[in-house]
A and B are shown apart, each in its own frame.
Chain A
Amino acid sequence: MNITAEKKTLTEKEPSLAPKFQYSLFVKFFFALITLALIPTGLIILFTVATYQRLFANYIVEDEAIALFVQNGVLQAELIFIFITILSIFVAFILSRNITQSLRTLTKGVDQVAGGDLNVSFRVTRKDEIGALARFFNVMIGKFREVHERQETISRMKSEFVSTAAHQLRTPLSGMKWALHMTLAGDLGKISSETKDTLQKTYEANERMISLVNDLLNVARIEEGRFGYSFQEVEIAPFLRSLINDYSLSAKQKNIHMQLLLPKESYTAFLDPERLHLAISNIIANAIAYTPEGKNITVMLTKSDQNFLLLSIKDEGLGIARQDQDRIFSKFFRGENVVKRETEGSGLGLFITRNIIEQHGGNIWFESALGQSTEFFLTIPRHRNLVKVQEFAQRSTKGD
């Protein structure tokens, strides 16, 4: 999972397309070629002038003639040196550019592929090693594209299968729900208290099945990019009060003291009430499920900054073991300590929650001490422009 996190690390380490001046291959080639041209030229000139000066000194007596010769020789040498300098700069520039320009184009292409864009291909005219590299790159991208398309098809079919199966399951599950509910309410005749107890448990098991099916449907919709959102400006305090109220009964049944701490000022946030309700509910339901009787759950809202509100949900429950912490937002993952206790759960709740929070443009993270407490933090956007998704946007999810 953790695709976004991985992406972030990748971006941090990502090599820049234009390397630093001193590391640039262009600069290295350019100066190496100029140096290779100029040093021998300089040395040849130096040695030639020195040799002739010596020779002439032996045969020609007049100093004037030697001075004239040296003057002429130096002038010629200077001209040759300048000519060779210009020529070598020109050749070095052309050669270096010829190599590095193609390499940069290739780097740009690879960078685009690394960023997830597979619609890259090079028009190759060169017949040298770089040309061969580019041609192999084209072949590789073609294969990537094939694999990617196949994976997308499989993933879509899988999601569609889950969607259809979940819909099909809902009909008999609602039949059972209705029949059990009516039987328990005495609508279908009197039942004994033993039967009632058993039927109550059956009803609860059926409810868990319904909620699993709902989770599966939500996950399938997230993966198909059909998990629609409708955002609106919402006053956050009443929203949270009503949400907490929905869970007050189940907290009370476990004798858990749940409190909501709100700031004095009233804030509005920009959110999809139904989706965010689901996201926060998943965390609160976990907190209630994994907190022992008589303990506390604290939900606290603080203004984080101009852009985001910060919500924290702290329980005094089982905690999340260190080795489980990286995988807690993954699909179907459940911590070892909660599985051992035979608590019910699909392992889909936090996956859905993280997706909803991220689509809101917010962040979610947690701190946990095993056997003591877990505190989840999430940020909720205050303005429309912070929201990530377009409403009902047909986007393909990047995860998985």
Chain B
Amino acid sequence: MSDSEETLGKKSDISVLIVEDDKFLRGLIGEKLRKEHYTVFEAIDGKEGLEKIKSEKPTIVLLDLVIPETDGFEFLRIIAEDKEVNATPIIVLSNLGSKEDIERARSLGAKDFLVKANYTPSEIIAEIKKIISEVYL
């Protein structure tokens, strides 16, 4: 049990919103998170993501950048300006990953930038834990 988990109570109290258009990837990471007893919300595009971040108030968001409707950068910009939800940490999980993309996402408030192909689901969960403990403690 890490400190963050104690503060937030049971693990199932920690909720993760996955904004990802690829069904296979969304399913896999969702499955892994549920296995680790996290509550998982899923959104298939930016628009649904924006709705769910407000309705579900997740602990943390995993955000893909190349998604339909509202793209990831626009999503970050909208969230940064919305006082109701701008405290929610967002981890970008994308297959973009040039320095410009990373700098841009970070300047728009992303807490971390993970290139999907370079991280295993376990490593992604480790990053989620790390960010949660940084933000909520």
Task: Please pick, from B25, B28, B99, B121, the residue contacting A171 in the complex, using a CB distance under 8 A.
Answer: B25
Number of residues on chain A facing chain B (CB within 8 A): 25
Given contacts A171-B95, A175-B22, contact A181 B122 (CB under 8 A): yes
- Assembled-state Cα–Cα distance A228/B118 (Å): 19
Q: Does B120 contact A (CB under 8 A)?
A: yes
Given contacts A178-B25, A187-B32, A187-B35, contact A214 B99 (CB under 8 A): no
Per the 8 Å Cβ criterion, residues 84-101 of B in contact with A are 95-100
Distance from A167 Cβ to chain B, minimum over Cβ atoms (Å): 6
Q: Inside 8 A of B13's CB, which chain A residues have their CB?
A: none
What's the dominant secondary structure at chain A's contact region?
Answer: helix
Tell me if B98 and A221 are in contact (CB < 8 A): yes
Tell me if A175 and B28 are in contact (CB < 8 A): yes
- Assembled-state Cα–Cα distance A227/B98 (Å): 7
Given contacts A175-B22, A178-B29, A187-B31, contact A392 B99 (CB under 8 A): yes
Q: Inside 8 A of A175's CB, which chain B residues have their CB?
A: 22, 24-25, 28
Tell me if A170 and B100 are in contact (CB < 8 A): no
Q: Inside 8 A of A174's CB, which chain B residues have their CB?
A: 25, 95, 116-117
Task: Fill in one digit per residue for A147-173: 1 if any B CB lies within 8 Å of its CB, else 0.
Answer: 000000000000000000001001101
Tell me if A181 and B24 are in contact (CB < 8 A): no
Task: Please pick, from B28, B118, B121, B122, the residue contacting A210 in the complex, using a CB distance under 8 A.
Answer: B118
Task: Fill in one digit per residue for B11-49: 1 if any A CB lies within 8 Å of its CB, else 0.
Answer: 000000000001011001101100100000000000000
- Assembled-state Cα–Cα distance A170/B115 (Å): 9
- Assembled-state Cα–Cα distance A369/B31 (Å): 52
Task: Please pick, from A167, A173, A178, A217, the residue contacting B120 in the complex, using a CB distance under 8 A.
Answer: A178
Distance from A280 Cβ to chain B, minimum over Cβ atoms (Å): 18
- Assembled-state Cα–Cα distance A217/B24 (Å): 24
Q: Inside 8 A of A182's CB, which chain B residues have their CB?
A: 28, 31-32, 121
Q: Does A240 contact B (CB under 8 A)?
A: no
- Assembled-state Cα–Cα distance A210/B117 (Å): 7
Distance from B76 Cβ to chain A, minimum over Cβ atoms (Å): 19
By Cβ-Cβ distance, the 5 closest A-B pairs, closest first, are: A228-B99, A174-B116, A170-B95, A174-B117, A181-B120
Binding site for A on B (CB under 8 A): 22, 24-25, 28-29, 31-32, 35, 95-100, 103, 115-118, 120-122
Q: List 5 A-B contacts (CB under 8 A).
A: A174-B117, A178-B121, A182-B121, A187-B35, A228-B98
